[in-house]
A and B are shown apart, each in its own frame.
Chain A
Amino acid sequence: MPTDVIMPQMGESIVEGTITKWLKKPGEKVQRDEPLFEISTDKVDAEIPSPTSGVLQEIRVSEGTTVQVNTVVASIAADGEGAAAAPAKQAAPAAKPTPPAERKLETAPTPKGAEPPQATVQSEARPKPAPPEQKEGIQFPQEREEEPVRSSPLVRRIARDNNIDLSQVPGSGLGGRITKQDVLAFLEKGPAVAPARPSGGAATAPAAPAVIPGEVVPMTQMRKIIAQRMVESRRTSAHVHNLFEVDMTRIVSLRNHHKNSFEQRYGTRLTFMPFFVRAAIIGLQQFPIINASMEGENIRYHGNVNVGIAVALDWGLLVPVLKNAEEKNFLGLQRGITDLGERARNKRLTPDEVQGSTFTITNPGSFGAVFGLPIINQPNVAILGVGGIAKAPLVVTDSQGNDSIAIRSLVHLTLGYDHRVIDGAVADQFMALVKKTLENWSEEVG
């Protein structure tokens, strides 16, 4: 029996996923746990391992298609089983001396009038996938949108020549197929059949863009999600930012001192990130309102500190979560941060690891920005932005009260917070504690 491969549930709130890439072709051998395909969901991009060893028999969901979780996306035959699955076609007899009557029975499956190829979509001999998951699954209307538009070569040519988006053309042919008449009617009526603009007056409807030479590229799944989440967060939270200048000289020299020995001893680079994470944890434990979420008219104070760490990728942005960070020592923080970052870049995060954050840290300074004003990662109520660390002149006061100007390593930290639940005084006190922790660093580094 072939093994069905299903779209996994990448987190409990996830109902669908998009197959972004098949890593195996039908007919190729695959080992158990070997990466089989890549998916993109609301939460995460991930490689999905094969559930069993065998030969990839059939891919049922093509790249770019979004399906509900638990949908069978492929089947894997045990070795040697693949050939049996192909329907045995009966060859038409050439000149056997059987009487024509019997012959006719044999050839009956190929009647003279060819069926228009709806029959070819699914070979009748192939057992249809039993869809038990359909019964419990909810049909989501957006799934229809992802279906490729069915049309003919002629219709596609007409669409191409006239710049028509075929997904806008209603089809009247078999199975909703777009016929020549459909596309010609659409062309004739023109904008009248175009989807109705929201009736907000001409002011809200953007004017048709002037044709500027360029290329139109569809958004990736991840891009769409980021776009949606960012706007959603801006609409949800009453964003306020504060900005603190922190003297990092002590930590910079500490890091320089331990950098090589740390890496040698633990096999992982020593970065600045765990310092900021530790300082934030100490602050969050002192001001639990910042490690909270709004739930309707209630505030949920989280028992643990789960730090989301924004990781920039070539193809977007992910926020893996360092769970129960308050329980980790310095080395544990560093290891966790490095590991999450690497696996985010290699698409090896589990869905579990990109959800459940209670506070987020982002790092706009990597490329030299002095500071950033980050958008809150919902449903958090605050986000810490770490600017670039740079040397600058600073007025320092010694123990005798004498001022002097010194060259110090400074960082600018911003806190984006939701003024619905956090007031400025609390936010500032939190940041003052973070600053104090960093400037007076005392924890053993390794």
Chain B
Amino acid sequence: MPTLTYLEAIRQGIWEEMERDPSVFCLGEDIGIYGGAFKVTDGFIDHFGPQRVIDTPIAESAMVGAAFGAALTGMRPIAEFQFMDFIGCAFNQIVNMVAKSHYRWGAPAPLVIRGPSGGNVHGGPFHSQNPEAWFVHAPGLKVVCPARAYDAKGLIKASIRDNNPVVFFEHKYLYRRIKEEIPDNDYVVPLGKARIAREGRDLSVITYAAMVYVALEAAEILAKDGIELEVLDLRTLCPLDRDAIAQTVRKTNKVILLHEDVRTGGMAGEVSAIINEEAFEDLDGPIVRITALDTPVPFSPPQEEYFLPKVSDVVRQARRLKAY
């Protein structure tokens, strides 16, 4: 099996889908000749031609509007954001037009909106955000946040094939740091299914995207003390895998919710409510949230480090919760 980075896995997934289905095409800022801000679509224009790899003006609202129109005519567009921070510019198109299309007219809008999110790269407040929760709160959209290269490829393929609009959050910190052997075959990872990233009996860490690695690293440290973390990688935030969440709580009875997004209104609050609904009587301790602070992402590297959840945070909270 060839070893691919997280970014290459996404590239391969899009490539394969464009090969498989002529209605799939890409549009975005500088995705053609330049190959995209992070080079996800590098070489695409030479292979698929400028009609299927379209450079757009720097106008995210127009880009999503165009993709939406194409989707209504039966195409399967993939709109790239240079940074997911700029998705706010297209917010109205996404939540009012794209998300509600099927509900209002019975017209499916099978488009994928994808791009890099997340921090820990000293990108500052406009190039480091995690805006996934905004879209989880807009019914009609699916929201995907892969952590592994394998999942990134399988989930981008599933997202392209899905008849619902999907907002696909790639994590830029993982783009070139994560390398995995990826099977050559044409596989998809189904949307809405979480996966156990590590089995454990004492505590569950429910997380997604780059924080999966923080949880796994903490698990290694805690294992030396005999504390076994189970790490649940949600993979898809909408629809949420409620069964997997309840199952891990029933198994370990103590839960830490971990995400890189800011605290208030983040996914941890929603997952906490689900646990309350599905597995209250399986709790042997309080649900603990570990998240970023409720501030913009700081530009200063030491401040950003302070702002983001760290391995040591997970270790400390896990020890406390274990003793509870």
Interface residues of A (CB under 8 A from B): 92-93, 95, 100-101, 103-104, 107, 110-117, 152-157, 173-174, 177, 179-180
Contact = CB atoms under 8 A, between A and B. Distances in A.
A152 B280 CA distance: 10
Given A92-B264, A104-B303, A154-B282, A113 B290 contact: yes
A393 to B, nearest CB: 71
Contacts of A153: 280-284
Contacts of B286: 114, 116-117
B52 interface: no
Contacts of B299: 100
Contacts of A155: 284
Contacts of B284: 152-155, 179-180
A100 B295 contact: yes
Interface in B302-324: 303, 306-307, 309, 313, 316-317, 320-321, 323-324
A114 B306 contact: no
Nearest to B298: A100
Contacts of B320: 115-116
Interface string B245-267: 00000000100000000011000
Given A93-B294, A104-B293, A174 B281 contact: no
B5 interface: no
27 contacts: A92-B294, A93-B294, A95-B296, A100-B298, A100-B303, A100-B307, A101-B300, A104-B306, A104-B307, A110-B294, A112-B263, A112-B291, A112-B292, A112-B293, A112-B313, A113-B289, A113-B313, A113-B317, A116-B286, A116-B321, A152-B253, A152-B285, A153-B281, A154-B281, A155-B284, A157-B281, A173-B323
Given A104-B303, A116-B321, A152 B293 contact: no
Contacts, number: 86
B288 interface: yes
B324 A173 contact: yes
A93 B299 CA distance: 18
B324 A100 contact: no
Contacts of A174: 323-324
Contact of B295 (A104, A115, A157, A173): A104
A117 B289 CA distance: 12
Contact of A179 (B289, B294, B309, B324): B324
State which size class the interface on B falls in.
20 to 34
Contacts of A107: 293-295
Nearest to B264: A92
B285 A116 contact: yes
Contacts of A173: 323-324
Nearest to A100: B298
Given A100-B295, A100-B303, A112-B313, 4 more contacts: A100-B307, A110-B263, A116-B324, A173-B323
A175 to B, nearest CB: 9
Nearest to B308: A112
Interface of B: 253, 263-264, 280-286, 288-296, 298-300, 303, 306-307, 309, 313, 316-317, 320-321, 323-324
Contacts of A114: 286, 288-290, 317
Nearest to B321: A116
A316 B280 CA distance: 40
A272 to B, nearest CB: 60
Given A104-B303, A180-B253, A112 B309 contact: yes
B290 A152 contact: no
Contacts of B253: 152, 154, 180
B248 to A, nearest CB: 14
Contacts of B289: 112-114
Contacts of B292: 112
A95 B317 CA distance: 29
A326 B321 CA distance: 69
Contact of A100 (B264, B290, B300, B323): B300
A106 B69 CA distance: 46
B296 to A, nearest CB: 6
Nearest to A152: B284
Contacts of A179: 284, 324
Contacts of B282: 153-154, 157
A30 to B, nearest CB: 34
A104 B320 CA distance: 24
A174 B323 CA distance: 6
Contacts of A110: 263, 293-294
A180 B250 CA distance: 12
A100 B125 CA distance: 10
Nearest to A151: B284
Contact of A177 (B264, B306, B324): B324
Q: Which 6 A-B pairs have the closest CB atoms?
A: A92-B294, A100-B298, A157-B281, A154-B284, A180-B284, A152-B284
B43 to A, nearest CB: 39
Contacts of B281: 153-154, 156-157
B303 A154 contact: no
B295 A93 contact: yes
A110 B324 CA distance: 20
Contacts of B313: 112-113
A173 B290 CA distance: 22
Nearest to B316: A113
A90 to B, nearest CB: 11
A348 B263 CA distance: 54
A106 B323 CA distance: 30
A95 B291 CA distance: 18
A154 B316 CA distance: 23
Nearest to B320: A116
A90 B298 CA distance: 21
A155 B285 CA distance: 10
A286 B176 CA distance: 108
Contacts of A100: 295-296, 298-300, 303, 307
A235 to B, nearest CB: 46
B163 to A, nearest CB: 36
Contacts of B298: 100-101
Contacts of A95: 296
A99 to B, nearest CB: 9
Contacts of B264: 92
Contacts of A157: 281-282
A97 to B, nearest CB: 10
B264 to A, nearest CB: 6
Nearest to B314: A113
Nearest to A108: B293
Contacts of A115: 320
Contacts of B316: 113
- The CB with the most chain B CB atoms within 10 A, among A93, A113, A115, A117, is that of A113
A153 B279 CA distance: 10
B247 to A, nearest CB: 15
Contacts of A113: 288-290, 309, 313, 316-317
